[in-house]
Amino acid sequence: MKQQVYMALYAPSSVQKLLDFLRTIYAVEFVIPVIIRPFGAAAQVGIPEAHRIAYKLNKPLLVLPELADLRHIVKCDSAFYLVEDGEEIGLHRLIEEIAYKRVALIMSSGEQEPSGKELEGLATIWLKDVPRGMPCTALAGIIVYELHRYFKQG
């Protein structure tokens, strides 16, 4: 059975980065995009445009002011923050966890990192064999593609 996966972008300021992330997530049915603490142009221009896209495609979109809100609202079994110095885990191990649990994956826009307090209770991970320095949209694309393949075969 396909699970709902929440993939969150933390603190984007770029409209283009926010919209590219959203379009990447919308490539599959069961991944729900979450935008956390947008600021600057992403908050003023990007969020209204993101809502237009979501409405036009009849897709869900969550916009939250704080990382802690994700845990309270979505109530996931597991939440992972993808960061280059996180514990390395295999992509297939992560996908198998997603297949059986309600999971949130959070990645930084690269413009602002969450504080240590915000990360409390989150597992910090990085995907084995994924090059360090991978932009958030490319990383989201890899994960979405592998989720699609996994559930298509299952």
pLDDT given at position 1:
47
Q: Which residues of the chain have pLDDT under 50?
A: 1
pLDDT given at position 100:
83
pLDDT given at position 71:
86
pLDDT given at position 154:
65
Side-chain-side CA neighbours of residue 127 (13 Å): 21
132: CATH: 3.40.1280.10
pLDDT given at position 151:
85
- What domain count does the chain have? 1
Domain that holds residue 50: 5-153
pLDDT given at position 59:
97
**What is the reported pTM?**
0.94
The dihedral formed by the CA atoms of 111, 134, 36 and 79, expressed in degrees to the nearest 10: -140
